[in-house]
A = this chain, B = another copy of it.
Amino acid sequence: MPVPDAPVTGAPTDPPAPGPARPSRLDPAIAARLRRTADGLVAAVVRQHDSGEVLMVAWMDDEALHRTLTTGRATYWSRSRREYWVKGATSGHHQYVRSVALDCDGDAVLVSVDQVGAACHTGHRTCFFEELPVTGAEAP
């Protein structure tokens, strides 16, 4: 059994877990599993369901996750505008939700979608179009 090197949820040194930032209809059993940022959010990683391409990362509070699960349309919390946004509502670049998975420590969800058009507001298919220089590659 390997020794885990990932943070273990619930360790004595954990800071108090922030609760929901806003009222939500999310299933309490799911809400109890979330480990939120200080502003009450989890990271939502969005991928194209069939190709697996990673399209974007956005943020969800409890209610955004609830809406995503129950409407089948990817819904996020805008940190800058402080409001919910349904992907594609103004751009037409809809995200139809095929599945959602929660990660082991509850601070991220993986949303598999059928993406219409570009995921990125710049017009790129994916938001991850800028490579950073890796200067210290080490072979396995």
> In the complex, which residues of chain B have a beta carbon less than 8 angstroms from the beta carbon of A8?
80, 121
Residue in contact with A98 in the complex, picked from B13, B80, B134, CB distance below 8 Å: B134
Contact status of A127 and B139, CB under 8 A, knowing A9-B80, A53-B52, A108-B43? no
B120 x A81 contact (CB < 8 A): no
> In the complex, which residues of chain B have a beta carbon less than 8 angstroms from the beta carbon of A81?
7, 11, 13
A124, B2: Cα distance in complex, Å: 12
B117 x A2 contact (CB < 8 A): yes
B138 x A96 contact (CB < 8 A): yes
Q: Could you tell me the distance in whole angstroms from the C-beta of A77 to the nearest C-beta in chain B?
A: 10
Q: Could you tell me the distance in whole angstroms from the C-beta of A16 to the nearest C-beta in chain B?
A: 11
Binding site for B on A (CB under 8 A): 1-9, 11, 13-15, 30, 37-39, 43, 45, 47, 51-54, 56-58, 69-73, 78-82, 85-94, 96-105, 107-110, 114, 116-118, 120-124, 127-140
6 closest Cβ contacts across the A-B interface?
A4-B121, A72-B138, A57-B108, A6-B121, A101-B128, A103-B127
